[in-house]
Structure 1
Amino acid sequence: MPSQHAPNVDFKGSGEEPISLSIHDDESGYASASSSTESLPEVYFSKAHLKYLNAQLQKLEPEDILRWCVTSLPGLYQTTAFGLTGLVTLDMLSKLSGPIKPKVDLIFLDTLHHFDETLALVEKVRKRYGTTIHVYKPEGCETADDFAAKHGERLWETNDELYDYVAKVEPSHRAYSELQVKAVLTGRRRSQGGKRGDLNIVEVDETGLIKVNPLANWSFKQVQEYIEANNVPYNELLNRGYKSVGDWHSTQPVAQDEDERSGRWKGKAKTECGIHNPKSRYAQFLAQQKLQQQEAELSQALQSVVV
């Protein structure tokens, strides 16, 4: 049964000042703006440096990749739906030793259509690790009933791109903006199949957001073995044939020989919800609408000045 209630978690922001990171075409490794007391420096990854980083990080174990992240990337958060890989990352972060103790908050997108088991796991994780969890829901909605009233019944069937946008993509962008997120840890791995087969360790998306996939090289078996060896809490649905758990309406158990994510949107030609893809067609449509509106407002303003 789906649940309409999110667990009791801390919605407090990080309070840190923003530091801008983006990809840069220069061949130098880092470029830095002039520093002053009024503005923080901007740090750029060149394409050449990004390629070099991936070649080097590819050789490291996930713990070492995470150690590099917490010492190198400001504005770092972990985005997670509390799948196995994300839980391994969280546990590894909690055990990193050294002079710098990582404080990486979690961002959880509550689509209002998660399984009860997923929401129960969120609370277990909060109690186990004491990590701050920032919960973001579809704009203007607190429950599944609110969502249906605003967007219509079973939107995931009538317009799945719109559903992905309002339930996941827009809340993620809102989270990144409000929390001043510059880099995120994800739970993606090459062995999950689909579009993830050629995944790099570090990526920079079209918005300049840095995405790090610390367990990109690991297999499902390696993830399972770590979970068991370290007694990491996990979603009870994984004991019932599920390998990748999303919304209750678009997640099914998988056969032994199927890819992990084959149970997501079964029967549809999609393996991602839009968060890790270039902007969806619906997002592009919204952007075009906004641009047209701005042009109309500008034209109207100019006409009023002429008159």
Structure 2
Amino acid sequence: MSLHFSSDSEVPNTKDIMTESGYASATSSDDELPEVVFSKPHLRFLNRQLQFLEPQDILKWCITTLPHLYQTTAFGLTGLVTLDMLSKLDIPRPQVVDVIFLDTLHHFPETLSLVDRVRKTYPLNNIHVFKPAGTETAEEFAKKHGDRLWERDEQLYDWVAKVEPARRSYRDLNVHAVLTGRRRSQGGKRGELDVIEVDETGLIKINPLANWTFDQVKQYIKDNNVPYNELLDRGYKSVGDWHSTQPVAADEDERAGRWKGQEKTECGIHNPLSKFGQYLQELERKREEQALAQALQPTVS
């Protein structure tokens, strides 16, 4: 194995579970609370303990502790390492962690080819694919939202292509906790990443390889013959949508090729949901103003 790394959208429900960094709101009813709730002190304690464990031990803890656990991944290196580690844990089939893949309809062909290889390599792990609402192809996406939405309205693109499908997957699959591929060494907002987090909807996010470096991840892939994206042998280090991903120089940060030249470092999935809720509310307000303005225009006879 060679491994040559060169260098109709749904508006968020405001009645979602109200939590503050793992602390369940007193206004939430018992029916709304997730099955596992961490207080802030408990969350701090868990992170102090988990940060000293190897990723495999963190994964074992997750499987035995967290109900309705899934892995979310676009099959980047860290996600692939997590998938391989899970496949080698001695656990019964009911505890096998299924995978959620968000097909934005703008992935590289190499990424989609990798998904097929992953299915063959890890047949016990079901892969649940979620696409932007009401679309199955890039052509349908452009017809519904207009050409190059990512350039015209980046926030809206993130919502319809990634955030809304993610929220839909969590709802449809009854997801309470997810494994992610984020690591501190990826930089940006991830530099102070905890092993375990709870977002504002109550979703538990675990970053089992938070402490690992890019070199450690790369070495694991090589040592364990894990299938990986062919683009990583062509100067890419992190692969997202084709329109916002570029190769990077050997001395550049791992995610330097994502949204190059922009301040942006996250696609929205790991940003606060309220940010997108506020954005959509503002978008709806502008639409209402436009509709009112058009209605008040005098008709020409």
Letter paired with 2:40: K
- Aligned residue-pair number: 264
- In the alignment, what sits opposite 1:47? 40
Q: 1:102 aligns with which of 90, 95, 106?
A: 95
1:206 and 2:205 aligned = no
1:79 and 2:78 aligned = no
Q: Mapping of 1:110-259 within 5 angstroms?
A: 110-130=103-123, 131-259=125-253
Distance in 1 (CA, whole Å) between partners of 2:179 and 2:34 is 23
Distance in 1 (CA, whole Å) between partners of 2:190 and 2:33 is 35
Is the 2:36–2:66 contact (alpha carbons within 8 Å) kept by the matching residues of 1?
no
Letter paired with 1:227: I
Is the 2:24–2:37 contact (alpha carbons within 8 Å) kept by the matching residues of 1?
no
> SS of the residue aligned with 1:225?
helix
CA RMSD after TM alignment: 2.5
- In the alignment, what sits opposite 2:85? 92
Q: 2:268 aligns with which of 246, 267, 274?
A: 274
- In the alignment, what sits opposite 2:57? 64
Letter paired with 2:74: A
TM (norm. structure 2) is 0.82
Relative distance call for 1:60 and 1:252 in structure 2 (3 A) is same
Report the CA distance between 1:103 and its aligned residue.
1.1
Which ranges of structure 1 fall in alignment gaps of 5 or more residues?
Answer: 1-19, 27-32, 292-307
Tell which has more relative contact order, 1 or 2 (C-alpha 8 A, sep 6+).
2
Between stretches 263-272 and 94-103, larger displacement belongs to 94-103
Is the 2:105–2:131 contact (alpha carbons within 8 Å) kept by the matching residues of 1?
yes
Distance in 1 (CA, whole Å) between partners of 2:94 and 2:213 is 28
Distance in 2 (CA, whole Å) between partners of 1:40 and 1:266 is 40
Report the CA distance between 1:43 and its aligned residue.
3.0
Letter paired with 1:127: K
Which ranges of structure 2 fall in alignment gaps of 5 or more residues?
Answer: 1-16, 286-301
> SS of the residue aligned with 1:260?
coil
Distance in 1 (CA, whole Å) between partners of 2:274 and 2:153 is 13
Report the CA distance between 1:290 and its aligned residue.
7.7
Letter paired with 2:172: E
Relative distance call for 1:145 and 1:98 in structure 2 (3 A) is closer
Letter paired with 2:118: V
Superimposed CA distance per residue, residues 137-161 of structure 1 (whole angstroms, 9 cap, x where no aligned partner): 0000000000000000001111111
